[in-house]
Structure 1
Amino acid sequence: MSVSPKELVSAAKQAKDKYATTYFKMGAAVLTKCGKVFTGCSITCAVSPCSMCAERVAIFKAVSEGYKEFEALAVIGDDDTVKVSVCGMCRQVMRQYSLDMKAYCANNKEEFNTHQLNVLLPHEYGPNLS
């Protein structure tokens, strides 16, 4: 079963509405190499190190279920014009599992830009580097 970028962005939007935050609403959906989709929402706390971005929630859900190979990740914010991007910490987590993952960065209207992970994280550090 193939999942289109538009379908992945829509899954991220549905996840966004499950947010647990007082600061910002974001949703994410990650597509595994075998076609399974995992979603996540932003979870924030007053003490920010206790918070978790939607992207990492989605990836960690997938990893906790045994999936460690990813094709793409969609992230969406709550603004109708601004297409959100993936933060540095989430970029590094994405890199942990993929060199060539795509990122679909969307606004609330589900309009998105496509980025390659190696462009988002040009001087990457990963498990195969010493």
Structure 2
Amino acid sequence: MRFTDVYHSIYECLTAFHQPRSSEDEAKWMEIAGNDLASYRKCVDHRVWTFENKLLLLEAEQHFVIGNYIEAEEKYTASIASAKKHRFFHEDGLVKEFFGRFLQELGRIDEAEEHLANSRVLIRE
């Protein structure tokens, strides 16, 4: 897989995980996401440092879509920790934005607003 394909699969997977929440064609989108996630996992085996936090974000989104909220929260938290550890500050911001939206869906508004505010700061840096 080429480097550009890796990033394409990340964003396609994120899009595909979002679609079942707003589409009647859930099976199609979950298949696309599952295929992208499987491809992406192979990349992580070769470059954990670079891709770990992104894999954890994709797994968090997968758990969110299927209703495994405890597992989703664990994956979001692990993704944030990985992005910080590897000094991917913009990606830390990206994960916090997704995590904030997740928390909003669960009605945890104060926590969501904190993560969304932190996200904006990190993305601007």
Considering the TM-score relative to the shorter chain, is it more than 0.5? Answer: no
User: TM-score w.r.t. structure 2 length?
Assistant: 0.33
**Whose relative contact order is higher, 1 or 2, with alpha carbons under 8 Å and at least 6 apart?**
1
Between Structure 1 and Structure 2, the one with more helix by share is 2
Between Structure 1 and Structure 2, the one with more strand by share is 1
User: TM-score w.r.t. structure 1 length?
Assistant: 0.32
